[in-house]
Amino acid sequence: WDKDGELSLNEFVAMCRSLGFSMENANHIYDTLNFAGTSALGFEQLRPVANESVSFGHMRLLALGEFPPPDGSTKVMEVADEDRSTSVEYDEFLKVSCSYLAVVNESDLASVFSVLDVAAAGVLLQEQFNFLTATEFDVPAVRHLIKIMLGLERPTMVEVDASGDGKVNAVEFSTWLYKMLAVSNASATRIFQDLDTCERGVLSPEQL
């Protein structure tokens, strides 16, 4: 289906249609994978639906597609928490990941579970499990999300400062958070205001 190293919308839809998906579902899946708004899907964006290693970031993308906002976090918790303990045990995590997200590699799932299980308790509290589908964050939560999805020393000024003027305005900040982490615009605005302690309307490298 790929003719140039990437899958365009038309190529992706044609592939999905050949597998029995409706046009509507094919477009929905494409939009979910392409939340960054690129012109075509590359290998990294396709990894969640390919037979490849799946990271927390990929799992989050899949979960957001299957359980989209505004009520996705509530719905996935209802599905996962079978014993109604208000937490998600490892076996429950495996089951919902396999059944709803089609992720079956247990070593990948164990790695994702450990990323969420910051206290190494062997069980995920609701607020920990919700990291898979949440779009509303405060500063500490988005800092943790950046760490587990992108790693340390991110973001860099260069990747957020789209204009290249050495400062990050609210639009640049919100755009980067949405494209990279699927954080809502409302949350991005609040986080920007919390970081902009001087109320200058821009963030310096030190504030970022």
CA distance 129 to 98: 16
144-154 mean pLDDT: 87
Q: In residues, how long is the chain? A: 208
Phi, psi for 125 (deg, rounded to 5): -70, 160
Share of the chain above pLDDT 90, in %: 45
| Strand 202-203 relative to strand 168-169, pairing | antiparallel
Mean pLDDT of 53-73: 85
Average pLDDT of the chain to the nearest whole number: 87
**pTM: predicted TM-score of the whole model, two decimal places:** 0.70
- How many helices (H) and strands (E) would you count in the chain? 12, 4
What is the C-alpha separation between 109 and 57, in angstroms, rounded?
12
Alpha carbon separation from 102 to 91, 105, 118, 147 (Å, rounded): 15, 9, 24, 25
